[in-house]
Structure 1
Amino acid sequence: MSDKTIKKVCVIGAGTMGAGIAAQVANAGVPVLLLDIVPEGATNRNAVAEGAVAKMLKTDPAPFMGKRAAKLVETGNIEDHLDKVADCDWVVEAIIERLDIKQDLYAKLEAVRTPGTAVSSNTSTIPLAQLTDGRSEDFKRDFLITHFFNPPRYMRLIEIVAGPQSDAATVARVRDFVDRKLGKSVVDAEDSPGFIANRVGTFWIQQAVNSAFEQGISVEEADEIGGKPMGVPKTGVFGLIDLIGIDLMPHLMKSLTSTLPADDPYQKIARSEPLIEAMIADGYTGRKGKGGFYSMAKAEDGSRTKMAKDLKSGEYRAAARPGLVGGSAARGDLKALISAKGKVGDYAWSVLGPTLAYAASIVPEATATVTGVDDAMRLGYNWKAGPFEMIDNIGAAHFVERLKADGIAVPPILEAVGDGTFYRIENGKRQYFGTDGAYHDIERPEGVLLLEDIKRTAEPLLKNGSAALWDVGNGVVALEFTGKMNALDEQVMKLIAQAVPMVAKDYKALVVYNEGSNFSAGANLGLAMFALNIAAWGEVEKLIKGGQDAYKALKYAPFPVVAAPAGLALGGGCEVCLNSDAIQAHAETYIGLVETGVGLIPGWGGCGEMLSRWQDDKRQPRGPMPAVSKVFEIVSTATVAKSAAEAKDLKFLRESDGVTMNRDRLLYDAKQRALAMVDGYTPPEKPEYRLPGPAGAAALKLAVDSFRKQGMATPHDETVAGVLAHILTGGNTDITEVTTEADLLKLEREGFMKLVRDPKSQARVEQMLETGKPLRN
């Protein structure tokens, strides 16, 4: 067995999953060969693979993180190009779920692959032992299952199944690649039907559907009770089925019933409803079809009404908002939810009781530990908590008592934990309850550093209502935003002002990082609106000046500052990144200056920082206008990069900035980057600009005027763009004069205050707060 690293990958099968896996490999900067069949009678023998790439370039949400990634995909077909597998270090099979076709492909692969090349199947239904039946010992040593989840770019879970003959080094090589390069969280699964997530998830969906029909619960009631209160995505069950496709349900059912033992609890609940069969037959397969359990009805006046399927009559009616769940049950107290009187508690228990018991019953058959089940459901189905974490929420002893009262078999691990918990904190370490009856530390992989672990044994160095400062070791501190959506306010700026001298005196570097879903959605608009309503203009201007001062304090601090964004980094969240020495971004970072959408302009230094980036680009045409025009275009249209790769194209990130594929590795990578900058660090020099002044602003305004006349911009868009143009062109200056950073900051403050007093901007802010949607006025 070779110890070669994975430098090139082949994916066979250009369907939704195979093409998506190939795209994610390319997103990692690794060349990938994508092969599929030769279409019958086709003149282009590579049409299937080429068509898949072309489709992905138009798909939203995008499988590719940027157009550069697509260029790393080489297309071909199985008949003409299978010999190219010899140059690949890992082959992923993602073809139709038929054993005979897979085995035929493996026989061909064995003849062309280089010994030591890993071969894996993306199957979610066929046991590994059957897949490799008839193959050589060498092939079996290099074979494993790598079960990705759809869509491969966005779903973090990958289940890996190794057979008894699988070479440990080969498995480790693939595991490391999918972790570090593809950004996936690996869960080890046993070679059992459905593995982990789909086995539990399919049971959960089936149980929820059955109970709704049996109890006369409407789809809206089921999704309200079984959605957010259970820690399930807001789609609930029926909304989820619409999303994945109602026609997928029979296939999942057939797959599991044909492979699970006859006495498995799923066999007892697996059944189809005549209404669902009729919906599939009539093309009502969910969002991809004519509609599903929900649909949108369009009236003659263009208005749209959300409709819901009545499970009794089979007809559509206007969707209702039941409003059944309140109090602690609505806030995630599962014991309160299943104990609620009437249909809420009855339905919640009928879903959670059997589902959580089933999840407990598959340990260790499907995976060795309770953490495997919990990780799989959180990462594969986006549950807020895994089944065993949910049982801890309810109380294991109480849960068992309810199961016994209903005659539901109690799995051995539930009996073993007794009145204890599946998770506990011991000596600052999170531990899980094992099948051996003992507790074991949850160990993080090398290169994973999480703030949640640090918080178990440490107190913050500084803290207020919106931010905190943590010692993350080796002389590095982390600045964490803690408000709702990590919104930024004067408390954040106050803590930055306190942090800079503390870090300068006692530490080496600072990382701006948090473990929220989003790095920061920008300034706290709610506080801003409150100030506007009482005409507290001085307070608003104080906030703008305070933010500028805080961000420039970070920029010119006598130590390195590295921003580590993930998720949304908008407005002020983007600006803190722009003012850092370097950025180590998670690949899924969506970053941009979006203030014009609410009738404002960037006020915390974003304009100057973007001008510097575009002016420093030697590929741009010379002169004052090219950089100004580009920044104006990006900011005036509130452009948001949809990945870290795209952020480099827009210069929210520099080419030298780092990208981390695995979210769990972000803090460690950012910390290492900061430490690497410590020796010989000097703060950046203050930039100077030569800007075109009123003549340049007039040219930009002329372009916006043209857009408005074409109906592509509103009157207030034109007003906001005029203020932005005035700032970016330097105000009353020209290219013979030097514009300083302080000059631009002053122009930002003046422009911001001008717009914030405008009733049309205030209306935009108000609508965004109330509806989350922009106002086009």
Structure 2
Amino acid sequence: MNRKIKKVAVLGSGVMGSRIACHFANIGVEVLLLDIVPKDAPEGDKKARNKIVNDALDFALKSNPSPIYRRSFAKRITTGNFDDNLKDIATCDWTIEVVVERLDIKQQVFEKVEKYRKPGTLITSNTSGIPIHLMAEGRSEDFKKHFCGTHFFNPPRYLRLLEIIPTADTSKEVTDFLMLYGEQFLGKTTVLAKDTPAFIGNRVGVYSMMHVLHLVEEMGMTVEEVDKLTGPVIGRPKSATFRTSDVVGLDTLVLVANGLTTNVPLDEEKATFQTPGFITKMLENKWLGSKTNQGFFKKDKVDGKTVFLALDLKTLEYKPSQKVKFASLEAAKNIDDLRTRIKTLVASKDKAGDFYRNTFYALFAYASNRIPEITDDFYKIDDAVKAGFGWELGGFETWDALGVANTVKDMEAAGRKPAQWVYDMLAAGFTTFYKVEDGKKLYYDIASRSYKVIPGTESFILLDNIRAANTIWKNSGTTITDLGDGILNLEFHTKMNAIGGEVLEGINKAIDLAEKEYKGLVISNEGANFSAGANVAMIFMLAVEQEYDELDMAVRMFQNTMMRIRYSSIPVVLAPHNMALGGGCEMCLHSDKVVAHAELYMGLVEFGVGLIPGGGGTKEFALRLSDELQEGDIELNNFRDRFLTVGQAKVSTSAYEAFDYGYLRKGRDIVVVSRNRVLSEAKEQCLVMADEGYTPPVKRTDIRVLGKQSLGLGYIGANSMFSGNYISEHDVKISQKLAYVMSGGDLSQPSLVSEQYLLDLEREAFLQLCAEKKTLERLQSIITGGKVLRN
């Protein structure tokens, strides 16, 4: 069946419903969002009857982080109520129920839905705790055939997990469609789950969290110690365990845990889901986390300063949060490879090592014993916890990193025996859960006792899978990989993917190779962020030591490399994701095309460290301003908009907003919602340009700059902001330098200039600011504390 989704109905506008509606609007789908009519709302008064749904949507759109890529996308959402507008679901291709978690209410809703729903359309529930098959009881054959669970994780825009839970009556066509649609269009990691309590993600993820809550009592650990050990050091989110609980809400975590205690009577770890004593007391005190302004952590004022307090789990009193030190963490902090770092931590002999062995061995045993209860394939468990809880490595991937066979022995010694299928796998000569062959990641299939390609990944290009076999050159900060079909890929792997000399060398080498033997170049990576910008530590060091000739050379090299990206004889496509700041943004500005992931936080942020963009970014904004001016435009208004984007260091909150700020180019750059498809799409776009007979652009000598007209505007604006105490005296100086470059200097009248002319002005201004004491103070603040200093 050639099924298309043009319009979706979302029934229920609470926290999840309104945000699910926003995410469908994000991808261009028309949405009908419905909720109940307020009591006593009069007939015919549309505003009064839609108050609940409108208030909920308005609250969602004002929330931070935003559930919507661009505010204008909210126009794709139409609101209504169940009494007046339920009939309108007849125009929808998919109806998603997100009402209160009560079976009787859901069944009542579905009974009404069936009166209006068009046969053959999808109908799903976003329940997180009610068995899917119970909700379909009493419904028609067509309803049951097109019904299943679609469990989004909150917030739907940002958490990538989407669990698809079919019933025995669900059509395979429906299941297959939802698995593909969720990944390709909604950008989700879609995981096929069985209809079991809490499905996959929450069953294993909540178990892991509850195990830690019990362990903290047994080992006498503090909340600060646990959060230090369960955060980024092992590839988990910064919020780790206790801060995550505060954000989610302690009541929500306990609700899921209590549901599991009740609904999994045969679970060998059932007791783990029971609430520890200190949690019970916190619930009684209503210390639920962020929603009550205190949980495991809280903010307080001491002598006028904000301090962070942590809960002492023994006394249930708050005390100043303490820094945590473990010998094992010190030993592992310089190990960049996550798998190697975890192996080192688990082998350590201190308290942290004891903690890691306890938590990982418990996780491995529990996850392996959930097969075949919650799924037949262990990779789905890994996918679920990674996408739903933000883990970089799933449990079975971590087990592989430690060595499966040796870890089984250690688990047995610790009283944590894995499932029998793990022993069978090892006895049959299979020593790992995963392996990579021919650029594809394979998993051990328990049923067939063989390795198989993970379904649905055949169309992805993942650098982790091809790097070992396809690397043709590398240095300390970059790797060049052959993507096939004549296209190369350059990736960075410096800290935060910062751009220094090794990255610039890698870019030039990649272009050299591509121009000689290949068709084109893609620049992308699989790091947490595309690039946080130039290596500010290097800039600071050279500036402090007054090595201005070396600094000038470094800036020239950066500028020349950006211009090489623009004018090379082969197409260069950039594929940024998450943060693309400063130099990372400038690199994108000079590419032939950008294939951006939808979650893109892009901006020229140099102003915050006392500088202007010095790698061609200021020049490029002047060039784009020149190109966008139309006859009859008020030129100074256009200049002001571009000037403020850089001067206010504006950062997009999505790739779509990057178009609004002028970082991405309408009609040229494109957005991909599925993170796994960004590189394959970038390669395809590069190949198309190459095969169509790519011709490099002509070097520009016709850039119209406004001279003193716009320079005066920049000076007046900066002085006005200073007079109003909105910016500092140093901000005024930076603004004047920015205005000078974007105006082409103090030319007496609008003139045509070259790119090199603007680059020289830009570099000169950049170097002058590097000599300023207050700029050095700002650079130092960023380097030492990661904080923007306004001095």
Q: TM-score range by the shorter chain?
A: over 0.9
Equivalent residue, structure 2, for 1:665: 677
Mapped to 2, the partners of 1:272 and 1:567 lie a distance apart of 37
Equivalent residue, structure 2, for 1:143: 147
Secondary structure of 2:241's partner? helix
User: What is the CA-CA distance between 1:597 and the residue it aligns to?
Assistant: 0.6
- State the AA in 2 paired with 1:733: L
Equivalent residue, structure 2, for 1:9: 8
1:171 aligns with one of 172, 175, 186: 175
* Deviation digits for residues 157-197 of structure 1 (CA, Å, limit 9, x no counterpart): 11111222211222222222221221111111111111111
Mapped to 2, the partners of 1:412 and 1:201 lie a distance apart of 22
User: What is the CA-CA distance between 1:383 and the residue it aligns to?
Assistant: 1.4
* Deviation digits for residues 402-452 of structure 1 (CA, Å, limit 9, x no counterpart): 443344443122322338222234566433222233322335535322222
Counterparts in 2 of 1:348 and 1:30: CA distance versus 1, 3 Å: same
The answer to whether the aligner puts 1:567 opposite 2:578 as a matched pair is yes
TM-score normalized by structure 1?
Answer: 0.95
Equivalent residue, structure 1, for 2:708: 694
Counterparts in 2 of 1:250 and 1:620: CA distance versus 1, 3 Å: farther
Secondary structure of 1:347's partner? helix
- State the AA in 2 paired with 1:213: E
Equivalent residue, structure 1, for 2:269: 266
Secondary structure of 1:309's partner? strand
Equivalent residue, structure 1, for 2:563: 552
Mapped to 2, the partners of 1:182 and 1:619 lie a distance apart of 37
Equivalent residue, structure 2, for 1:128: 132
Secondary structure of 1:659's partner? strand
Mapped to 2, the partners of 1:681 and 1:427 lie a distance apart of 30
* Deviation digits for residues 492-539 of structure 1 (CA, Å, limit 9, x no counterpart): 323333333432332222222111111111111112222123221111
- State the AA in 2 paired with 1:718: V
* 1:587-666 equivalent positions in 2, closer than 5 A: 587-617=598-628, 622-656=633-667, 657-666=669-678
The answer to whether the aligner puts 1:355 opposite 2:363 as a matched pair is yes
Equivalent residue, structure 1, for 2:395: 387
Equivalent residue, structure 2, for 1:191: 195
Mapped to 2, the partners of 1:712 and 1:736 lie a distance apart of 30
| Between 165-174 and 16-25, the greater mean CA deviation after superposition | 165-174
User: What is the CA-CA distance between 1:684 and the residue it aligns to?
Assistant: 2.5
Counterparts in 2 of 1:734 and 1:481: CA distance versus 1, 3 Å: farther
Equivalent residue, structure 1, for 2:688: 676
2:383 aligns with one of 372, 375, 378: 375
Mapped to 1, the partners of 2:112 and 2:213 lie a distance apart of 43
The answer to whether the aligner puts 1:51 opposite 2:48 as a matched pair is no
The answer to whether the aligner puts 1:457 opposite 2:465 as a matched pair is no
Cα contact 2:421–2:446 (8 A) shared by 1: yes
Cα contact 1:283–1:290 (8 A) shared by 2: no
Counterparts in 2 of 1:131 and 1:171: CA distance versus 1, 3 Å: same
- State the AA in 2 paired with 1:449: I
Cα contact 1:614–1:630 (8 A) shared by 2: no
Secondary structure of 1:713's partner? coil
| Between 581-590 and 223-232, the greater mean CA deviation after superposition | 223-232
The answer to whether the aligner puts 1:505 opposite 2:507 as a matched pair is no
Cα contact 1:513–1:519 (8 A) shared by 2: yes
- State the AA in 1 paired with 2:549: G
User: What is the CA-CA distance between 1:8 and the residue it aligns to?
Assistant: 1.2
Mapped to 1, the partners of 2:696 and 2:765 lie a distance apart of 28
Equivalent residue, structure 1, for 2:495: 484
User: What is the CA-CA distance between 1:556 and the residue it aligns to?
Assistant: 1.6
The answer to whether the aligner puts 1:742 opposite 2:745 as a matched pair is no
Counterparts in 2 of 1:427 and 1:705: CA distance versus 1, 3 Å: closer
Cα contact 1:392–1:421 (8 A) shared by 2: yes
Cα contact 1:624–1:691 (8 A) shared by 2: no
Counterparts in 2 of 1:752 and 1:127: CA distance versus 1, 3 Å: same
User: What is the CA-CA distance between 1:763 and the residue it aligns to?
Assistant: 1.1
Equivalent residue, structure 2, for 1:288: 291
- State the AA in 2 paired with 1:400: V
Counterparts in 2 of 1:318 and 1:666: CA distance versus 1, 3 Å: same
Equivalent residue, structure 2, for 1:685: 698
Secondary structure of 1:186's partner? strand
* 1:85-96 equivalent positions in 2, closer than 5 A: 85-96=89-100
Mapped to 2, the partners of 1:517 and 1:444 lie a distance apart of 23
User: What is the CA-CA distance between 1:604 and the residue it aligns to?
Assistant: 1.6
Mapped to 2, the partners of 1:492 and 1:510 lie a distance apart of 15
Mapped to 1, the partners of 2:568 and 2:22 lie a distance apart of 40
* Deviation digits for residues 443-489 of structure 1 (CA, Å, limit 9, x no counterpart): 553532222222132122x3222223222122222222222111112
The answer to whether the aligner puts 1:704 opposite 2:718 as a matched pair is yes
* Deviation digits for residues 199-248 of structure 1 (CA, Å, limit 9, x no counterpart): 01111111111111233222122222333444332333222111111111
User: What is the CA-CA distance between 1:335 and the residue it aligns to?
Assistant: 5.1
Equivalent residue, structure 1, for 2:319: 317
Mapped to 2, the partners of 1:215 and 1:606 lie a distance apart of 53
Counterparts in 2 of 1:347 and 1:485: CA distance versus 1, 3 Å: closer
- State the AA in 1 paired with 2:269: Y
Counterparts in 2 of 1:415 and 1:542: CA distance versus 1, 3 Å: same
| Between 763-772 and 671-680, the greater mean CA deviation after superposition | 671-680
* Deviation digits for residues 123-160 of structure 1 (CA, Å, limit 9, x no counterpart): 12122221211111111110111111111000111111
Equivalent residue, structure 2, for 1:306: 308
* Deviation digits for residues 313-343 of structure 1 (CA, Å, limit 9, x no counterpart): 1111112123124355665644554454454
* Deviation digits for residues 5-40 of structure 1 (CA, Å, limit 9, x no counterpart): 111111111111111111111111111111111122
Secondary structure of 2:656's partner? helix
* Deviation digits for residues 248-300 of structure 1 (CA, Å, limit 9, x no counterpart): 1331122212321x22123222322343233223331101213011111212x
The answer to whether the aligner puts 1:765 opposite 2:779 as a matched pair is yes
Secondary structure of 1:418's partner? helix
Counterparts in 2 of 1:599 and 1:230: CA distance versus 1, 3 Å: closer
| Between 612-621 and 112-121, the greater mean CA deviation after superposition | 612-621
Counterparts in 2 of 1:329 and 1:434: CA distance versus 1, 3 Å: farther
Equivalent residue, structure 2, for 1:98: 102
Mapped to 2, the partners of 1:641 and 1:305 lie a distance apart of 30
- State the AA in 2 paired with 1:740: S
2:85 aligns with one of 59, 72, 81: 81
Secondary structure of 2:461's partner? coil
Counterparts in 2 of 1:389 and 1:24: CA distance versus 1, 3 Å: same
Cα RMSD between the aligned structures? 2.0
Secondary structure of 1:291's partner? coil
Cα contact 2:213–2:276 (8 A) shared by 1: no
Equivalent residue, structure 2, for 1:326: 329
Secondary structure of 1:106's partner? helix
Cα contact 1:5–1:173 (8 A) shared by 2: no
Mapped to 2, the partners of 1:202 and 1:243 lie a distance apart of 14
Mapped to 2, the partners of 1:152 and 1:631 lie a distance apart of 33
Mapped to 1, the partners of 2:783 and 2:228 lie a distance apart of 24
Equivalent residue, structure 2, for 1:18: 17
- State the AA in 1 paired with 2:408: V
Cα contact 1:523–1:572 (8 A) shared by 2: yes
State the identity %.
37
Secondary structure of 1:457's partner? helix
Which blocks of at least 5 consecutive residues in structure 2 are unaligned? none
User: What is the CA-CA distance between 1:357 and the residue it aligns to?
Assistant: 0.9
Mapped to 2, the partners of 1:223 and 1:621 lie a distance apart of 59
2:65 aligns with one of 61, 67, 78: 61
User: What is the CA-CA distance between 1:346 and the residue it aligns to?
Assistant: 3.5
Counterparts in 2 of 1:359 and 1:74: CA distance versus 1, 3 Å: same
Mapped to 1, the partners of 2:665 and 2:732 lie a distance apart of 30
Secondary structure of 1:471's partner? strand
Mapped to 2, the partners of 1:527 and 1:345 lie a distance apart of 36
Work out the number of aligned pairs and report it: 773
